[in-house]
Structure 1
Amino acid sequence: MNYSNLFKIALRAIAANKLRSFLTALGIIIGVASVITMLAIGQGSKRSIQANIAEMGSNMIMISPGADRGPGGVRQDPSAMETLKLTDYASIKDECHFIKGISPTVNSSGQWIYGNNNTPSSIYGVNQDYLEIRQLAVSEGEMFTDTDIKSSAKVCILGQTVVDNLFPDGSDPVGKVVRFNAIPFRVVGVLKKKGYNSMGMDQDDLVLAPYTTVMKRIKAQTYLGGITCSAITEDLTSKAIDEITDVLRRNHKLKEATDMQEADDDFNIRSQEELASMMNSTTDMMTILLGCVAGISLIVGGIGIMNIMYVSVTERTREIGLRMSVGARGIDILSQFLIEAILLSVTGGLIGVGLGIGASYAVKLVAHWPIYIQPWSIIMSFAVCTFTGVFFGWYPAKKAAQLDPIEAIRYE
């Protein structure tokens, strides 16, 4: 018996029990659709996080004062948080060759007031490089100048959220005087809107000012809250960190590490590369977890196919006996039932692929979640469902092929 005839017999057997065949394939349909949808959500979240990190500056390096813990895991005292000075900023700027932008940072939180409107927000003392490092841009007005920094001028650049809260009538804030607590600031520019990042933080709820202004007129301090810089390229981030570490350890006269004791730094250096690696590992783990949970549906669908094939073998025992008595070989019977199982799983897989793609876009439209459907997830899901049909259909088909023709004809 050739395979075209076996294929036709398998189709007739499936068509004779349409509802049962659909219910059998339903497990595969749900399994494949679930795998594609879950992987699309997981990969979409990963790409969204990567895009947000890139917007913040994928080659950004953040230097903060004080160690995470002192000897024995004890927290550092407040004086340890005053270790970064303007001399450190100058040394890094002059001596490090793998950075292209550097800015001191010092910030304070308070109330911004204009007329009868007020809003809580933070002021960040920075220089001009900060815009390039953080991928920010001025949409109206201009950036403050070196002269403003040298003179500690009371000028500022508002984020869009602060503008919306202080100027709800839509008037142009450039040139207006706003107050930070009791200190007046002249608005010289407005930042281009960036929106929320993947962690739900409003990137427009900030105000920029010269770092000298914040240090002298608001905080009244001589030390920095941190230093932000960017490597020439993302690949050179680790080399830039090594350079910065050497400069700061020399400036702070710290002891070198020995075989018995690790080096104790009074500063922390973090890069976006570390953050990206951590977030990617988290999203990858969640994607695998979601895929495994969805994959259980495929196993359940495969068990359903095995169950129905067993029932089919039992119902058609006399038919099998008749076929074998007129010359059908065991391999023909095995092929017939195996083709039925594969047809059920492949048909269910095709429907599941369409349903999974449709469900992914429905999630995007309804829940506004980021999705990304990778071709390999479709290929993998389809391959797994085909393997499931072969694996779970093999044993019932083999049992049918091993039936004794005489006993099968006598079966009631």
Structure 2
Amino acid sequence: MNFWDSVRIASKALLKNRFRAGLTILGIVIGIAAVTAMVSIGESASLLVADQLESLGTNMIAVLPGATQRAGIRAVDVGSLTAADVDAVVAECTAVRAASPLIATSGYLVYRNSNWSPKTLFGVGVDYTVVRSWNLSSGTFFSERDVTSGMKHCVLGRTVVRELFQSEDPIGKTVRIKNIPFRVIGVLEPKGVSMLGQDYDDIVLVPYTTAGKRLRRARAGNTVDAIMISANSPEYASQASKQVERLLRDRHDIAEGETPDFRIQDVTEIATMLKVIMGAITLMLTAIAAISLVVGGVGIMNIMLVSVAERTREIGIRLAIGARAKDILRQFLIEAVMLSCFGGLIGVLLGIGASIGLTYVINMIATSAEWPYIISLEGAGIAMLFAAGIGVFFGYYPAFRASRLDPIEALRYE
């Protein structure tokens, strides 16, 4: 008896007991569907996190003022970073591609009869868009002359443009920030909303010199709130952080082992950590979902043992007329694999539907960020292979037991 004869006989046996076969594969269906959905949702979450981190700026490193202790009270040393530190970082740190000072402030914008208070109002340098990987949709960004001269120019995010200008082109128009006139020279490309609901496009940028002298008149010297840095590539991020730390320690006369008056945050390291966390969560959820596959496999073994007992006389007749033990083994093994693979196929289709449905529900509930719809074909393929493996593993013992029946005793079985 060849392989296709075994497949034909196994198919007839399964079709004869459709309802029982359907109940048998239920555990496999649930397990495969859960695994497929969890892998797809996990990949969707990982991609969302990667997109959110990329929106902060490729290979970005932030240098912030450190905490100092005065009279037993720890406070942020707001005057520890200067614009000269930024110039030194760009000139001397070979792993750094670009850097920009940053001064944070706030204020209302007024244009004709419209006014708006942006969530973010930053004073920045000429390379801020390079550090943040943020292009302009129209107009230009600040030049060196704008910064050194403290020009009253501004660049707006898409949300600010919509609130103040509606459909009007803002380029060349004058807005008032804290009653100071600023000319709009550029509009940033839209970046969207973060997972925490922060609107990246609700932003206004001005030269940091203008922000220090005009919008925050009480600034001491040429100090800045932070230094935003972009490394040459992700591989150079760690090297750039070390170079910046050594340089700033030297410039601020801080010896090794002493607590610096600044702190460095590497977005690349945060991204790597989040990817590891998301991978671990996805693996854990997938492992939990896979437990139902084992339950389904036990169900297949149980039904196959019942099937062997019910068809003992049939097995005896086939052995008596010349069937070999390996033919019986193959037939029952094929039945088990067909059950698990059919259940796996249904489970994959249900898992794909479930992942799409879950993503849709998440996007309805969490409107702050758009979760991408991802169908993990790799996860579906692995789930199908696992289902076939379940059929072989749990179906082998009943098949082996059937192949070892004594023909005479099988024929006597009632």
1:316-363 deviation digits (Å, cap 9, x = unpaired)? 233334434445454443332222111111222233334444544555
Match of 1:273 among 265, 268, 275: 268
Match of 2:336 in 1: 341
User: How far, CA to CA, are the matches of 2:26 and 2:237 in structure 1?
Assistant: 51
1:119-150 deviation digits (Å, cap 9, x = unpaired)? 34221010110011112222233223333322
TM value normalised by structure 1 = 0.88
SS in 2 for 1:348: helix
Deviation of 1:4 after TM superposition, in Å, equals 3.7
Question: What pairs with 1:297-308 in structure 2 (closer than 5 Å)?
Answer: 297-308=292-303
User: How far, CA to CA, are the matches of 2:341 and 2:120 in structure 1?
Assistant: 58
The more displaced of 280-289 and 142-151 is 142-151
Match of 1:282 among 264, 277, 288: 277
Match of 2:202 in 1: 205
Instruction: Give the paired residue count.
Output: 402
Question: What pairs with 1:35-114 in structure 2 (closer than 5 Å)?
Answer: 35-67=35-67, 76-78=74-76, 80-114=77-111
1:11-65 deviation digits (Å, cap 9, x = unpaired)? 2111111222123223223322322222122112212322343343322221111
The more displaced of 354-363 and 150-159 is 354-363
Match of 1:323 in 2: 318
TM value normalised by structure 2 = 0.87
> Contact (CA 8 Å) 1:126, 1:210: kept in 2 or not?
yes
Matched, 1:248 2:248: yes
User: How far, CA to CA, are the matches of 1:127 and 1:3 in structure 2?
Assistant: 73
The more displaced of 56-65 and 113-122 is 113-122
> Contact (CA 8 Å) 2:178, 2:215: kept in 1 or not?
no
Q: 1:110 to 1:308 in 2, by over 3 A?
A: farther
Matched, 1:171 2:173: no
Match of 1:19 in 2: 19
Matched, 1:292 2:287: yes
Q: 1:48 to 1:116 in 2, by over 3 A?
A: closer
Question: What pairs with 1:311-390 in structure 2 (closer than 5 Å)?
Answer: 311-361=306-356, 369-390=371-392
Deviation of 1:212 after TM superposition, in Å, equals 1.0
> Contact (CA 8 Å) 1:113, 1:179: kept in 2 or not?
yes
SS in 2 for 1:82: coil
Match of 2:367 in 1: none
Letter in 1 for 2:192: G
Deviation of 1:226 after TM superposition, in Å, equals 0.4
Could you tell me which runs of 5 or more consecutive residues in structure 1 were left unpaired when the two chains were aligned: 258-262
> Contact (CA 8 Å) 1:64, 1:269: kept in 2 or not?
yes
Deviation of 1:206 after TM superposition, in Å, equals 0.8
SS in 2 for 1:104: strand
> Contact (CA 8 Å) 1:26, 1:348: kept in 2 or not?
yes
Match of 2:399 in 1: 397
User: How far, CA to CA, are the matches of 2:235 and 2:250 in structure 1?
Assistant: 25
Match of 2:128 in 1: 130
SS in 2 for 1:41: helix
Q: 1:75 to 1:11 in 2, by over 3 A?
A: farther
> Contact (CA 8 Å) 2:119, 2:203: kept in 1 or not?
yes
> Contact (CA 8 Å) 1:66, 1:76: kept in 2 or not?
no
Matched, 1:117 2:118: no
Deviation of 1:10 after TM superposition, in Å, equals 1.3
User: How far, CA to CA, are the matches of 1:308 and 1:404 in structure 2?
Assistant: 21
Could you tell me which runs of 5 or more consecutive residues in structure 2 were left unpaired when the two chains were aligned: 364-370
Match of 1:260 in 2: none
Identity over the aligned pairs, expressed in percent? 43
> Contact (CA 8 Å) 2:147, 2:209: kept in 1 or not?
yes
Q: 1:34 to 1:75 in 2, by over 3 A?
A: farther
Ranges of 4+ aligned residues in structure 1 off by more than 6 Å: none
User: How far, CA to CA, are the matches of 1:2 and 1:40 in structure 2?
Assistant: 40
Letter in 2 for 1:206: I
Deviation of 1:157 after TM superposition, in Å, equals 1.1
Deviation of 1:407 after TM superposition, in Å, equals 4.7
SS in 2 for 1:136: coil
Letter in 2 for 1:65: P
User: How far, CA to CA, are the matches of 2:205 and 2:288 in structure 1?
Assistant: 46
Letter in 1 for 2:386: V
SS in 2 for 1:338: helix
Match of 2:153 in 1: 155
> Contact (CA 8 Å) 1:330, 1:401: kept in 2 or not?
yes
The more displaced of 337-346 and 396-405 is 396-405
Deviation of 1:399 after TM superposition, in Å, equals 3.3
User: How far, CA to CA, are the matches of 1:123 and 1:181 in structure 2?
Assistant: 12
User: How far, CA to CA, are the matches of 2:18 and 2:400 in structure 1?
Assistant: 24
1:151-199 deviation digits (Å, cap 9, x = unpaired)? 323321111111222234x222333333334444332222121212455
SS in 2 for 1:209: strand
